Amino acid sequence: MTISIAQAAERSGLSIDTLRYYERIGLLDPPARDAGGRRDYSEDDLSWLAFLTRMRATGMPIKMMREYAQLRHRGDPGAARRRQILVEHRTAVRERVAELNACLEVLDYKIEHYGSLERTFVEGITRGATA
């Protein structure tokens, strides 16, 4: 089963322009075309787009994604380098997650701090009203 570019965009969460861009820069193999010359995307294309979307969401640079896509296109001889790319990117993602966790700790502290201030303020008002 194949689907149109509009359907592929909807299912992948990417815009039609992004799909065309990914094709133009070599991230996405040119899809099959129907009799009218319109792009037909396969389930394999959608799976690949899902992978690309996840890599972009984790901050993988387009340059690294292009290298990975080129190696993928070559097949097994590029498997070791593809694995290395993913391992390196995983390390970067873990570092970013650690940074974000540190930021969350600061946010949690500040939220608790302001909660304490609010409770103290309300208690002060309540005591003042009953005095």
Are 74 and 86 within one domain? yes
Are 69 and 131 within one domain? yes
Indicate the DSSP class of residue 28: S
The boundaries of the domain holding residue 53 are 1-57
The pLDDT mean for the chain works out to 93
Are 73 and 120 within one domain? yes
Are 22 and 74 within one domain? no
Q: What is the value of pTM for the model shown?
A: 0.79
Q: Which of 36, 57, 78 is the last residue of a domain?
A: 57
Backbone φ and ψ of 32, nearest 5°: -60, 160
User: CATH code at 3?
Assistant: 1.10.1660.10
More confident call, 123 vs 89: 89
**pLDDT tens string 25-57:** 999 999 889 889 899 999 999 999 999 999 999
All residues at 6 or more sequence positions from 107 whose CB lies less than 8 Å from its CB, including other chains: none
pLDDT at 87 (0 to 100): 98
**pLDDT tens string 81-109:** 999 999 999 999 999 999 999 999 999 99
Are 91 and 119 within one domain? yes
